[in-house]
Structure 1
Amino acid sequence: MIAEMQIRNYSPRTISSYVSSLRSLSLFYNLSPDLLSLNQFKDYLSERVQVDKISNATINQAIGAWRILQCDILRRQWEDFKVKRPRREKKIPQVLSPQQVLSLLSSISNVKHYALVSLAYATGMRRNEVLQLCIKDIDSARNMIIVNRGKGNKQRQIPINNSLIKTLREYYKQYRPLKFLFEGYRVGLSYSATSFCRILQRACKKAKINKRVTPHTLRHSFATHMLERGLNLKQLQLILGHNAMKTTSIYLHVADMSSIKMPDLLQPNESCDETEPK
Protein backbone atom coordinates (compact mmCIF):
# COMPACT_ATOMS: atom_id res chain seq x y z
CA MET A 1 0.00 0.00 0.00
CA ILE A 2 2.84 2.37 0.79
CA ALA A 3 4.36 1.76 -2.63
CA GLU A 4 1.01 2.47 -4.29
CA MET A 5 0.71 5.83 -2.55
CA GLN A 6 4.31 6.71 -3.34
CA ILE A 7 3.66 6.02 -7.03
CA ARG A 8 0.64 8.32 -6.84
CA ASN A 9 2.89 11.03 -5.35
CA TYR A 10 1.18 11.20 -1.96
CA SER A 11 3.09 13.24 0.60
CA PRO A 12 5.01 11.35 3.33
CA ARG A 13 2.65 12.84 5.90
CA THR A 14 -0.45 11.54 4.08
CA ILE A 15 1.11 8.09 3.65
CA SER A 16 1.92 7.92 7.35
CA SER A 17 -1.61 9.03 8.30
CA TYR A 18 -3.32 6.50 6.01
CA VAL A 19 -1.15 3.62 7.20
CA SER A 20 -1.80 4.60 10.82
CA SER A 21 -5.54 4.73 10.13
CA LEU A 22 -5.62 1.19 8.73
CA ARG A 23 -3.42 -0.04 11.57
CA SER A 24 -5.96 1.27 14.10
CA LEU A 25 -8.77 -0.43 12.19
CA SER A 26 -6.87 -3.72 12.16
CA LEU A 27 -6.12 -3.56 15.90
CA PHE A 28 -9.76 -2.77 16.67
CA TYR A 29 -10.88 -6.15 15.27
CA ASN A 30 -7.53 -7.94 15.62
CA LEU A 31 -7.85 -8.84 11.92
CA SER A 32 -6.09 -7.84 8.74
CA PRO A 33 -8.06 -4.92 7.20
CA ASP A 34 -8.49 -6.79 3.89
CA LEU A 35 -10.64 -9.37 5.75
CA LEU A 36 -13.09 -6.79 7.09
CA SER A 37 -16.52 -6.09 5.65
CA LEU A 38 -18.13 -2.77 4.88
CA ASN A 39 -20.42 -3.06 7.90
CA GLN A 40 -17.46 -3.74 10.16
CA PHE A 41 -15.72 -0.63 8.87
CA LYS A 42 -18.87 1.45 9.48
CA ASP A 43 -19.23 0.02 12.99
CA TYR A 44 -15.60 0.91 13.66
CA LEU A 45 -16.17 4.53 12.56
CA SER A 46 -19.35 4.75 14.63
CA GLU A 47 -17.50 3.53 17.71
CA ARG A 48 -14.69 6.04 17.19
CA VAL A 49 -17.17 8.90 16.77
CA GLN A 50 -19.20 8.04 19.86
CA VAL A 51 -16.39 7.02 22.21
CA ASP A 52 -13.29 8.86 20.99
CA LYS A 53 -15.15 11.89 19.56
CA ILE A 54 -12.96 11.88 16.45
CA SER A 55 -13.23 14.84 14.08
CA ASN A 56 -14.60 14.89 10.54
CA ALA A 57 -11.03 15.20 9.30
CA THR A 58 -10.06 11.93 11.00
CA ILE A 59 -13.16 10.22 9.57
CA ASN A 60 -12.31 11.44 6.07
CA GLN A 61 -8.76 10.22 6.54
CA ALA A 62 -10.00 6.74 7.48
CA ILE A 63 -12.34 6.64 4.48
CA GLY A 64 -9.52 7.73 2.17
CA ALA A 65 -7.28 4.93 3.44
CA TRP A 66 -10.17 2.43 3.18
CA ARG A 67 -10.79 3.41 -0.45
CA ILE A 68 -7.16 2.98 -1.47
CA LEU A 69 -7.10 -0.43 0.19
CA GLN A 70 -10.28 -1.64 -1.49
CA CYS A 71 -9.89 -0.11 -4.96
CA ASP A 72 -6.14 0.16 -5.60
CA ILE A 73 -4.76 -2.71 -3.58
CA LEU A 74 -7.54 -5.31 -3.57
CA ARG A 75 -9.00 -4.24 -6.96
CA ARG A 76 -12.56 -4.23 -5.68
CA GLN A 77 -15.43 -2.04 -6.87
CA TRP A 78 -15.83 1.04 -4.73
CA GLU A 79 -19.62 0.87 -4.95
CA ASP A 80 -19.50 -2.37 -2.95
CA PHE A 81 -17.44 -0.78 -0.13
CA LYS A 82 -18.37 2.87 -0.44
CA VAL A 83 -18.79 4.97 2.70
CA LYS A 84 -20.30 8.45 2.51
CA ARG A 85 -18.13 11.19 3.91
CA PRO A 86 -19.47 13.35 6.78
CA ARG A 87 -20.92 16.76 6.08
CA ARG A 88 -18.27 19.44 6.14
CA GLU A 89 -18.35 21.61 9.24
CA LYS A 90 -19.00 25.21 8.27
CA LYS A 91 -16.82 27.06 10.75
CA ILE A 92 -15.86 30.68 10.33
CA PRO A 93 -12.09 30.90 10.91
CA GLN A 94 -10.80 32.82 13.90
CA VAL A 95 -8.54 35.69 12.92
CA LEU A 96 -6.50 38.40 14.58
CA SER A 97 -6.94 42.06 13.73
CA PRO A 98 -4.01 43.79 11.97
CA GLN A 99 -3.33 45.66 15.22
CA GLN A 100 -3.21 42.40 17.19
CA VAL A 101 -0.73 40.90 14.73
CA LEU A 102 1.55 43.93 15.05
CA SER A 103 1.26 43.74 18.84
CA LEU A 104 2.09 40.02 18.69
CA LEU A 105 5.20 40.67 16.58
CA SER A 106 6.29 43.57 18.81
CA SER A 107 6.29 41.24 21.81
CA ILE A 108 8.87 38.91 20.20
CA SER A 109 12.47 39.96 20.89
CA ASN A 110 14.27 36.84 19.60
CA VAL A 111 15.42 37.40 16.00
CA LYS A 112 14.74 33.82 14.92
CA HIS A 113 11.30 33.69 16.48
CA TYR A 114 10.39 37.08 14.99
CA ALA A 115 11.45 35.97 11.52
CA LEU A 116 9.51 32.72 11.82
CA VAL A 117 6.23 34.37 12.86
CA SER A 118 6.69 37.21 10.35
CA LEU A 119 7.16 34.74 7.51
CA ALA A 120 4.10 32.70 8.50
CA TYR A 121 1.86 35.76 8.69
CA ALA A 122 3.19 37.70 5.68
CA THR A 123 2.88 34.73 3.30
CA GLY A 124 -0.08 32.76 4.64
CA MET A 125 1.91 29.54 4.37
CA ARG A 126 0.78 26.44 6.23
CA ARG A 127 2.72 25.46 9.35
CA ASN A 128 4.54 22.53 7.70
CA GLU A 129 5.28 24.62 4.61
CA VAL A 130 7.03 27.19 6.78
CA LEU A 131 8.98 24.58 8.73
CA GLN A 132 10.00 22.63 5.62
CA LEU A 133 11.07 25.73 3.68
CA CYS A 134 14.68 25.49 2.47
CA ILE A 135 17.07 28.36 1.89
CA LYS A 136 17.16 27.59 -1.84
CA ASP A 137 13.37 28.09 -2.01
CA ILE A 138 13.72 31.85 -1.47
CA ASP A 139 14.29 33.80 -4.68
CA SER A 140 15.17 37.25 -3.32
CA ALA A 141 16.02 38.55 -6.82
CA ARG A 142 12.38 38.04 -7.85
CA ASN A 143 10.85 38.64 -4.41
CA MET A 144 9.37 35.18 -4.51
CA ILE A 145 9.13 32.06 -2.35
CA ILE A 146 8.80 28.68 -4.04
CA VAL A 147 6.71 26.23 -2.01
CA ASN A 148 7.85 22.79 -3.18
CA ARG A 149 6.23 20.74 -0.44
CA GLY A 150 2.74 22.18 -0.31
CA LYS A 151 -0.38 20.16 0.45
CA GLY A 152 -0.58 17.28 -2.01
CA ASN A 153 3.04 17.97 -3.04
CA LYS A 154 1.85 20.79 -5.29
CA GLN A 155 4.37 23.54 -6.08
CA ARG A 156 3.37 27.18 -6.03
CA GLN A 157 4.95 30.64 -5.86
CA ILE A 158 4.25 33.28 -3.23
CA PRO A 159 5.28 36.93 -3.77
CA ILE A 160 7.01 38.56 -0.80
CA ASN A 161 7.76 42.19 0.00
CA ASN A 162 11.08 43.88 0.74
CA SER A 163 10.42 44.24 4.47
CA LEU A 164 10.08 40.48 4.86
CA ILE A 165 13.24 39.88 2.81
CA LYS A 166 15.09 42.32 5.08
CA THR A 167 13.84 40.45 8.17
CA LEU A 168 14.90 37.08 6.77
CA ARG A 169 18.34 38.40 5.79
CA GLU A 170 18.97 39.77 9.28
CA TYR A 171 17.97 36.41 10.75
CA TYR A 172 20.14 34.46 8.27
CA LYS A 173 23.25 36.54 8.99
CA GLN A 174 22.94 35.76 12.68
CA TYR A 175 21.99 32.05 12.57
CA ARG A 176 23.41 30.75 9.26
CA PRO A 177 21.13 27.70 8.80
CA LEU A 178 22.47 25.03 6.44
CA LYS A 179 19.44 23.44 4.78
CA PHE A 180 16.08 24.42 6.21
CA LEU A 181 15.50 28.13 6.72
CA PHE A 182 14.49 27.43 10.31
CA GLU A 183 16.43 24.65 11.98
CA GLY A 184 16.12 23.14 15.43
CA TYR A 185 18.89 22.41 17.92
CA ARG A 186 20.30 19.75 15.60
CA VAL A 187 21.89 21.21 12.49
CA GLY A 188 20.21 20.13 9.27
CA LEU A 189 16.86 19.25 10.87
CA SER A 190 13.81 21.50 10.58
CA TYR A 191 12.34 23.43 13.48
CA SER A 192 9.66 21.56 15.42
CA ALA A 193 5.94 22.31 15.19
CA THR A 194 5.66 22.19 18.98
CA SER A 195 8.29 24.90 19.39
CA PHE A 196 6.51 27.06 16.82
CA CYS A 197 3.24 26.83 18.78
CA ARG A 198 5.01 27.64 22.05
CA ILE A 199 6.48 30.80 20.53
CA LEU A 200 2.97 31.98 19.67
CA GLN A 201 1.62 31.09 23.11
CA ARG A 202 4.33 33.10 24.86
CA ALA A 203 3.92 36.03 22.48
CA CYS A 204 0.13 36.10 22.99
CA LYS A 205 0.55 36.12 26.74
CA LYS A 206 3.04 38.96 26.57
CA ALA A 207 0.88 40.92 24.10
CA LYS A 208 -2.23 40.24 26.25
CA ILE A 209 -4.14 38.63 23.40
CA ASN A 210 -6.84 36.45 24.93
CA LYS A 211 -7.26 34.10 22.00
CA ARG A 212 -5.91 30.67 21.18
CA VAL A 213 -3.46 31.53 18.41
CA THR A 214 -1.88 28.79 16.29
CA PRO A 215 0.19 28.91 13.08
CA HIS A 216 -3.07 28.37 11.19
CA THR A 217 -4.55 31.45 12.89
CA LEU A 218 -1.79 33.45 11.19
CA ARG A 219 -2.77 31.89 7.83
CA HIS A 220 -6.43 32.80 8.41
CA SER A 221 -5.42 36.32 9.42
CA PHE A 222 -3.24 36.73 6.33
CA ALA A 223 -6.07 35.68 4.01
CA THR A 224 -8.61 37.97 5.68
CA HIS A 225 -6.32 40.98 5.75
CA MET A 226 -5.36 40.47 2.09
CA LEU A 227 -9.02 40.56 1.08
CA GLU A 228 -9.51 43.69 3.16
CA ARG A 229 -6.56 45.29 1.34
CA GLY A 230 -8.21 44.60 -2.03
CA LEU A 231 -6.58 41.37 -3.23
CA ASN A 232 -9.05 39.49 -5.41
CA LEU A 233 -10.28 36.02 -4.52
CA LYS A 234 -8.56 34.22 -7.42
CA GLN A 235 -5.16 35.67 -6.56
CA LEU A 236 -5.66 34.71 -2.93
CA GLN A 237 -6.60 31.17 -3.93
CA LEU A 238 -3.33 30.78 -5.85
CA ILE A 239 -1.24 32.17 -2.99
CA LEU A 240 -2.90 29.94 -0.39
CA GLY A 241 -2.68 26.86 -2.61
CA HIS A 242 -6.40 25.98 -2.44
CA ASN A 243 -7.76 23.59 -5.04
CA ALA A 244 -11.24 25.07 -4.98
CA MET A 245 -12.41 28.68 -4.87
CA LYS A 246 -15.10 27.54 -2.41
CA THR A 247 -12.42 26.95 0.21
CA THR A 248 -10.98 30.44 -0.24
CA SER A 249 -14.37 32.17 -0.26
CA ILE A 250 -14.94 31.40 3.43
CA TYR A 251 -12.71 34.39 4.23
CA LEU A 252 -15.32 36.68 2.71
CA HIS A 253 -17.42 35.99 5.81
CA VAL A 254 -14.82 37.42 8.18
CA ALA A 255 -13.23 40.18 6.11
CA ASP A 256 -14.17 43.76 6.98
CA MET A 257 -15.45 45.22 3.73
CA SER A 258 -16.37 48.62 5.20
CA SER A 259 -13.37 50.32 3.55
CA ILE A 260 -14.39 49.22 0.05
CA LYS A 261 -15.96 52.01 -2.00
CA MET A 262 -19.16 50.66 -3.48
CA PRO A 263 -20.41 52.14 -6.75
CA ASP A 264 -23.78 53.88 -6.49
CA LEU A 265 -26.03 51.86 -8.75
CA LEU A 266 -28.89 54.34 -8.28
CA GLN A 267 -26.91 57.04 -10.02
CA PRO A 268 -26.36 57.08 -13.81
CA ASN A 269 -23.01 55.79 -15.02
CA GLU A 270 -20.99 58.72 -16.25
CA SER A 271 -19.40 56.59 -18.97
CA CYS A 272 -22.83 55.86 -20.49
CA ASP A 273 -24.98 58.20 -22.51
CA GLU A 274 -27.62 59.73 -20.31
CA THR A 275 -31.07 59.49 -21.83
CA GLU A 276 -34.40 60.69 -20.52
CA PRO A 277 -36.76 57.88 -19.51
CA LYS A 278 -39.96 57.80 -21.49
Structure 2
Amino acid sequence: MIDKPTSPLRQRMIEDMTARRYTEKVQKSYLLHISRFAVFLGRSPDTATVEDVRLYQLHLAKQHFGAPTVNVAVVALRFFFNVTLERPELARHLTSLHKPRRAPVVLNQEEMARLLEAAPGLKYKAAFGVAYGAGLRVSEVVALKVSDIDSKRMTLRVEQGKGQRDRYVMLSPQLLEWLRDWWRAARPQAWLFPGQNPVNPMSARQLSRVVRETARTAGIAKRVSPHTLRHSFATHLLEQNVDIRVIQVLLGHAKLETTALYTQVAVNTIRDVTSPLEKLTANLAGRPPV
Protein backbone atom coordinates (compact mmCIF):
# COMPACT_ATOMS: atom_id res chain seq x y z
CA MET A 1 0.00 0.00 0.00
CA ILE A 2 1.01 3.64 -0.46
CA ASP A 3 2.57 5.06 2.67
CA LYS A 4 0.34 7.19 4.87
CA PRO A 5 0.45 10.78 3.57
CA THR A 6 2.47 13.24 5.62
CA SER A 7 0.83 16.43 4.33
CA PRO A 8 -2.51 17.65 2.95
CA LEU A 9 -0.79 18.30 -0.39
CA ARG A 10 0.40 14.71 -0.69
CA GLN A 11 -3.05 13.48 0.34
CA ARG A 12 -4.68 15.59 -2.34
CA MET A 13 -2.39 14.27 -5.02
CA ILE A 14 -3.11 10.69 -3.95
CA GLU A 15 -6.84 11.40 -4.13
CA ASP A 16 -6.46 12.99 -7.57
CA MET A 17 -4.65 9.88 -8.85
CA THR A 18 -7.08 7.49 -7.17
CA ALA A 19 -10.03 9.29 -8.73
CA ARG A 20 -8.48 8.64 -12.14
CA ARG A 21 -7.88 4.98 -11.23
CA TYR A 22 -4.11 5.14 -11.48
CA THR A 23 -2.52 1.90 -10.34
CA GLU A 24 -0.61 1.72 -7.06
CA LYS A 25 2.63 1.30 -9.00
CA VAL A 26 2.01 4.51 -10.97
CA GLN A 27 1.03 6.40 -7.84
CA LYS A 28 4.21 5.38 -6.03
CA SER A 29 6.30 6.42 -9.04
CA TYR A 30 4.64 9.84 -9.30
CA LEU A 31 4.96 10.50 -5.57
CA LEU A 32 8.63 9.55 -5.68
CA HIS A 33 9.34 12.07 -8.42
CA ILE A 34 7.42 14.85 -6.68
CA SER A 35 9.38 14.08 -3.49
CA ARG A 36 12.64 14.38 -5.42
CA PHE A 37 11.49 17.71 -6.82
CA ALA A 38 10.69 18.91 -3.28
CA VAL A 39 14.14 17.85 -2.05
CA PHE A 40 15.72 19.77 -4.92
CA LEU A 41 13.68 22.88 -4.05
CA GLY A 42 14.31 22.61 -0.34
CA ARG A 43 10.69 23.64 0.30
CA SER A 44 7.13 22.59 -0.48
CA PRO A 45 6.66 21.89 -4.21
CA ASP A 46 3.46 23.96 -4.32
CA THR A 47 5.67 27.07 -4.05
CA ALA A 48 7.55 26.26 -7.28
CA THR A 49 8.11 28.91 -9.93
CA VAL A 50 8.77 28.66 -13.66
CA GLU A 51 12.46 29.25 -12.94
CA ASP A 52 12.46 26.38 -10.42
CA VAL A 53 11.06 24.06 -13.08
CA ARG A 54 13.74 25.15 -15.56
CA LEU A 55 16.53 24.62 -13.03
CA TYR A 56 15.19 21.21 -12.04
CA GLN A 57 15.22 20.00 -15.64
CA LEU A 58 18.78 21.29 -15.92
CA HIS A 59 19.59 19.36 -12.73
CA LEU A 60 18.19 16.13 -14.23
CA ALA A 61 20.28 16.65 -17.36
CA LYS A 62 23.47 17.19 -15.35
CA GLN A 63 22.78 14.03 -13.35
CA HIS A 64 22.77 12.09 -16.65
CA PHE A 65 19.46 10.38 -15.99
CA GLY A 66 18.23 8.30 -18.92
CA ALA A 67 15.31 9.34 -21.09
CA PRO A 68 12.84 6.93 -19.41
CA THR A 69 13.55 8.35 -15.93
CA VAL A 70 13.37 11.95 -17.10
CA ASN A 71 10.15 11.35 -19.01
CA VAL A 72 8.42 9.73 -16.03
CA ALA A 73 9.50 12.70 -13.90
CA VAL A 74 8.04 15.07 -16.50
CA VAL A 75 4.72 13.18 -16.61
CA ALA A 76 4.53 13.16 -12.80
CA LEU A 77 5.23 16.88 -12.58
CA ARG A 78 2.71 17.65 -15.30
CA PHE A 79 0.04 15.80 -13.35
CA PHE A 80 1.03 17.58 -10.14
CA PHE A 81 1.01 21.04 -11.72
CA ASN A 82 -2.06 20.59 -13.95
CA VAL A 83 -4.33 18.57 -11.69
CA THR A 84 -3.30 18.88 -8.05
CA LEU A 85 -2.04 22.47 -8.04
CA GLU A 86 -4.13 23.70 -10.98
CA ARG A 87 -1.16 25.73 -12.20
CA PRO A 88 -0.84 24.75 -15.88
CA GLU A 89 1.62 27.59 -16.55
CA LEU A 90 4.30 25.53 -14.79
CA ALA A 91 3.59 22.38 -16.81
CA ARG A 92 3.96 24.22 -20.12
CA HIS A 93 7.71 24.56 -19.52
CA LEU A 94 8.33 20.82 -19.05
CA THR A 95 10.11 19.04 -21.89
CA SER A 96 10.24 15.29 -22.55
CA LEU A 97 13.30 13.60 -24.03
CA HIS A 98 13.22 11.63 -27.24
CA LYS A 99 13.97 7.97 -26.55
CA PRO A 100 15.63 6.36 -29.58
CA ARG A 101 13.92 3.14 -30.62
CA ARG A 102 16.21 0.18 -30.95
CA ALA A 103 15.50 -2.99 -32.85
CA PRO A 104 14.35 -5.63 -30.33
CA VAL A 105 16.38 -8.75 -29.58
CA VAL A 106 14.65 -11.74 -31.18
CA LEU A 107 15.33 -15.47 -30.91
CA ASN A 108 15.16 -17.55 -34.05
CA GLN A 109 12.96 -20.65 -33.94
CA GLU A 110 15.86 -23.00 -33.19
CA GLU A 111 16.93 -20.85 -30.22
CA MET A 112 13.34 -20.64 -29.05
CA ALA A 113 13.03 -24.42 -29.11
CA ARG A 114 16.24 -24.77 -27.08
CA LEU A 115 14.98 -22.31 -24.49
CA LEU A 116 11.67 -24.15 -24.06
CA GLU A 117 13.39 -27.51 -23.82
CA ALA A 118 15.73 -26.18 -21.11
CA ALA A 119 12.88 -24.79 -18.97
CA PRO A 120 13.28 -26.02 -15.37
CA GLY A 121 10.01 -27.90 -14.91
CA LEU A 122 6.42 -27.82 -16.10
CA LYS A 123 5.61 -24.50 -14.42
CA TYR A 124 8.26 -22.52 -16.25
CA LYS A 125 7.79 -24.36 -19.52
CA ALA A 126 4.13 -23.34 -19.40
CA ALA A 127 4.99 -19.75 -18.41
CA PHE A 128 7.59 -19.47 -21.20
CA GLY A 129 5.02 -20.97 -23.57
CA VAL A 130 2.48 -18.29 -22.65
CA ALA A 131 5.01 -15.48 -23.18
CA TYR A 132 6.05 -16.83 -26.60
CA GLY A 133 2.92 -18.67 -27.73
CA ALA A 134 0.51 -15.84 -26.88
CA GLY A 135 2.85 -12.83 -26.90
CA LEU A 136 2.08 -11.69 -23.36
CA ARG A 137 4.07 -9.17 -21.33
CA VAL A 138 5.77 -10.57 -18.22
CA SER A 139 3.30 -8.71 -15.99
CA GLU A 140 0.43 -10.29 -17.92
CA VAL A 141 1.89 -13.80 -17.70
CA VAL A 142 2.21 -13.76 -13.91
CA ALA A 143 -1.24 -12.17 -13.48
CA LEU A 144 -3.06 -14.98 -15.31
CA LYS A 145 -5.70 -16.90 -13.40
CA VAL A 146 -6.81 -20.47 -14.04
CA SER A 147 -10.22 -19.06 -14.96
CA ASP A 148 -8.65 -17.01 -17.78
CA ILE A 149 -8.17 -20.19 -19.84
CA ASP A 150 -11.03 -20.86 -22.26
CA SER A 151 -10.31 -24.20 -23.92
CA LYS A 152 -13.60 -24.19 -25.85
CA ARG A 153 -12.92 -20.89 -27.59
CA MET A 154 -9.14 -21.53 -27.50
CA THR A 155 -8.39 -18.13 -25.99
CA LEU A 156 -6.64 -16.64 -22.99
CA ARG A 157 -8.19 -13.63 -21.28
CA VAL A 158 -5.75 -10.89 -20.37
CA GLU A 159 -7.34 -8.83 -17.64
CA GLN A 160 -6.34 -5.19 -17.25
CA GLY A 161 -3.21 -5.33 -19.38
CA LYS A 162 -1.12 -2.27 -20.17
CA GLY A 163 -3.33 0.78 -20.39
CA GLN A 164 -5.86 -1.00 -18.16
CA ARG A 165 -7.43 -2.74 -21.15
CA ASP A 166 -8.81 -6.27 -21.27
CA ARG A 167 -8.17 -8.37 -24.37
CA TYR A 168 -8.28 -11.95 -25.61
CA VAL A 169 -5.30 -13.70 -27.18
CA MET A 170 -5.00 -16.98 -29.01
CA LEU A 171 -4.44 -20.26 -27.18
CA SER A 172 -2.67 -22.79 -29.38
CA PRO A 173 -3.30 -26.55 -28.93
CA GLN A 174 0.35 -27.06 -27.95
CA LEU A 175 0.19 -24.35 -25.29
CA LEU A 176 -3.08 -25.75 -23.96
CA GLU A 177 -1.39 -29.15 -23.60
CA TRP A 178 1.47 -27.62 -21.59
CA LEU A 179 -0.95 -25.70 -19.40
CA ARG A 180 -2.91 -28.89 -18.73
CA ASP A 181 0.29 -30.76 -17.86
CA TRP A 182 1.13 -28.03 -15.35
CA TRP A 183 -2.39 -27.97 -13.90
CA ARG A 184 -2.50 -31.75 -13.45
CA ALA A 185 0.89 -31.67 -11.69
CA ALA A 186 0.25 -28.75 -9.31
CA ARG A 187 -3.50 -28.11 -9.29
CA PRO A 188 -3.18 -24.30 -8.95
CA GLN A 189 -6.39 -22.88 -7.52
CA ALA A 190 -6.56 -19.18 -8.36
CA TRP A 191 -3.34 -17.90 -9.89
CA LEU A 192 -2.17 -19.95 -12.85
CA PHE A 193 1.46 -19.46 -11.78
CA PRO A 194 1.41 -19.00 -7.99
CA GLY A 195 4.40 -17.79 -6.02
CA GLN A 196 6.00 -19.50 -3.04
CA ASN A 197 2.94 -18.37 -1.11
CA PRO A 198 0.02 -19.59 -3.29
CA VAL A 199 -2.03 -16.60 -2.15
CA ASN A 200 0.14 -14.44 -4.41
CA PRO A 201 1.14 -14.90 -8.06
CA MET A 202 4.73 -15.53 -9.06
CA SER A 203 6.55 -12.22 -9.30
CA ALA A 204 7.66 -10.74 -12.62
CA ARG A 205 11.19 -10.51 -11.19
CA GLN A 206 11.22 -14.23 -10.45
CA LEU A 207 10.09 -15.15 -13.95
CA SER A 208 12.64 -12.76 -15.48
CA ARG A 209 15.44 -14.32 -13.44
CA VAL A 210 14.52 -17.85 -14.52
CA VAL A 211 14.30 -16.82 -18.18
CA ARG A 212 17.83 -15.36 -18.03
CA GLU A 213 19.22 -18.44 -16.27
CA THR A 214 17.52 -20.80 -18.71
CA ALA A 215 18.91 -18.91 -21.70
CA ARG A 216 22.42 -19.35 -20.32
CA THR A 217 21.77 -23.05 -19.71
CA ALA A 218 20.55 -23.40 -23.29
CA GLY A 219 23.75 -21.79 -24.58
CA ILE A 220 22.01 -18.73 -26.02
CA ALA A 221 24.46 -15.82 -26.18
CA LYS A 222 21.83 -13.14 -26.76
CA ARG A 223 20.54 -11.02 -23.89
CA VAL A 224 17.22 -12.73 -23.16
CA SER A 225 14.32 -11.55 -21.01
CA PRO A 226 10.62 -12.47 -20.93
CA HIS A 227 10.03 -9.55 -23.31
CA THR A 228 12.38 -11.26 -25.80
CA LEU A 229 9.82 -14.07 -26.02
CA ARG A 230 7.08 -11.54 -26.77
CA HIS A 231 9.30 -9.88 -29.40
CA SER A 232 9.94 -13.30 -30.96
CA PHE A 233 6.21 -14.07 -31.04
CA ALA A 234 5.45 -10.88 -32.98
CA THR A 235 8.41 -11.25 -35.34
CA HIS A 236 7.70 -14.89 -36.18
CA LEU A 237 4.04 -14.07 -36.91
CA LEU A 238 5.14 -11.25 -39.21
CA GLU A 239 7.46 -13.66 -41.01
CA GLN A 240 4.46 -15.97 -41.49
CA ASN A 241 2.72 -13.09 -43.30
CA VAL A 242 0.14 -12.52 -40.57
CA ASP A 243 -1.44 -9.09 -41.04
CA ILE A 244 0.35 -6.51 -38.91
CA ARG A 245 -3.02 -5.16 -37.67
CA VAL A 246 -3.88 -8.60 -36.29
CA ILE A 247 -0.51 -8.71 -34.53
CA GLN A 248 -1.22 -5.25 -33.10
CA VAL A 249 -4.46 -6.52 -31.53
CA LEU A 250 -2.80 -9.66 -30.15
CA LEU A 251 -0.02 -7.64 -28.55
CA GLY A 252 -2.41 -5.05 -27.14
CA HIS A 253 -0.60 -2.15 -28.79
CA ALA A 254 -2.49 1.13 -28.85
CA LYS A 255 -0.53 2.38 -31.88
CA LEU A 256 0.30 0.54 -35.09
CA GLU A 257 3.70 2.26 -35.23
CA THR A 258 4.72 0.33 -32.10
CA THR A 259 3.96 -2.98 -33.81
CA ALA A 260 5.68 -1.82 -36.99
CA LEU A 261 8.99 -1.87 -35.10
CA TYR A 262 9.09 -5.63 -35.69
CA THR A 263 9.45 -5.14 -39.42
CA GLN A 264 13.06 -4.18 -38.68
CA VAL A 265 13.87 -7.68 -37.42
CA ALA A 266 11.57 -9.92 -39.49
CA VAL A 267 14.47 -11.47 -41.40
CA ASN A 268 12.40 -13.80 -43.57
CA THR A 269 10.13 -10.95 -44.64
CA ILE A 270 13.10 -8.75 -45.52
CA ARG A 271 14.85 -11.58 -47.34
CA ASP A 272 11.78 -12.43 -49.45
CA VAL A 273 11.42 -8.90 -50.82
CA THR A 274 12.66 -8.60 -54.39
CA SER A 275 15.06 -5.71 -54.81
CA PRO A 276 14.20 -3.24 -57.61
CA LEU A 277 17.75 -3.84 -58.82
CA GLU A 278 16.76 -7.37 -59.85
CA LYS A 279 13.97 -6.10 -62.11
CA LEU A 280 16.20 -3.38 -63.50
CA THR A 281 18.89 -5.93 -64.32
CA ALA A 282 16.34 -8.20 -65.98
CA ASN A 283 15.08 -5.32 -68.14
CA LEU A 284 18.61 -4.39 -69.12
CA ALA A 285 19.36 -7.99 -70.05
CA GLY A 286 16.34 -8.06 -72.37
CA ARG A 287 17.25 -4.85 -74.22
CA PRO A 288 19.03 -5.15 -77.57
CA PRO A 289 22.60 -3.85 -77.65
CA VAL A 290 22.99 -0.23 -78.78
Name the TM-score, length of structure 1 as normaliser.
0.88
Report 1:107-256 matches (<5 A). Answer: 107-256=118-267
In 1, are the aligned partners of 2:191 and 2:198 still within 8 Å (CA)? no
* 1:177/1:42 CA distance change after superposition, 3 Å: farther
Asked if 1:102 is matched to 2:113, the reply is yes
3-state DSSP of counterpart to 2:221: coil
Equivalent position of 1:37 in the other structure: 49
8 Å CA contact 1:9–1:153 kept in 2: the answer is no
The number of equivalent residue pairs is 265
Which range moves more in the overlay, 218-227 or 132-141? 132-141
Structure 2: distance between partners of 1:163 and 1:115: 10
Percent identical pairs in the alignment equals: 31
Deviation at 1:43, TM superposition (A): 2.8
RMSD (Å), alpha carbons: 2.2
1:79 is displaced (CA, Å) by: 6.8
List alignment gaps of at least 5 residues for structure 1: 267-278
Q: Deviations over 1:145-174 (max 9, x none)?
A: 111121121111111111101111110111
Correspondence 1:62 to 2:73: yes
- Aligned partner of 1:26: which letter? A
The TM-score, its normalising length taken from structure 2, stands at 0.84
Per-residue CA distance 1:239-275 (angstroms, 9 max, x = gap): 111111111111111102157587x9x8xxxxxxxxx
* Counterparts of 1:55 and 1:3, CA distance in 2: 29
Shift of residue 92, structure 1, vs aligned partner? 1.0
- Which residue identity does 1:17 align to in structure 2? S
Unaligned runs of 5+ in 2: 1-12, 280-290
Aligned partner of 1:3 among 15, 19, 22: 15
SS in 2 for 1:152: coil
Q: Deviations over 1:172-203 (max 9, x none)?
A: 11112222111111111010222212211221
Q: CA deviation at 1:101?
A: 0.7
SS in 1 for 2:163: helix
Query: 1:24 aligned to 36, 55, 67, which one?
Result: 36
Instruction: Give SS of 1:153's match.
Output: coil
Query: 1:269 is matched with which residue?
Result: none
Any residues of structure 2 matched to 1:74-93 within 5 Å, and which?
Answer: 74-78=85-89, 81-93=92-104
Q: 1:50 aligns with which of 44, 62, 67?
A: 62
Q: Segments of 4+ in structure 1 off by > 4 A? A: 258-262
Displacement of 1:35 after TM fit?
Answer: 1.9
Please say if residues 139 and 145 of structure 1, whose CA atoms lie closer than 8 Å, have aligned partners that are also in contact: yes
- Listed one character per residue, the Cα deviations across residues 107-126 of structure 1 (whole Å, up to 9, x for unaligned) are 12411111111111111111
Cα separation, 1, equivalents of 2:60 and 2:139: 27
- Asked if 1 retains the 8 angstrom alpha-carbon contact of 2:142 and 2:202, the reply is yes
Query: By how many angstroms is 1:210 displaced?
Result: 0.8
Tell me how far 1:207 sits from its aligned partner: 1.0
- Contact (CA 8 Å) 1:132, 1:149: kept in 2 or not? no
Check conservation: 1:10, 1:153, Cα contact below 8 A. no
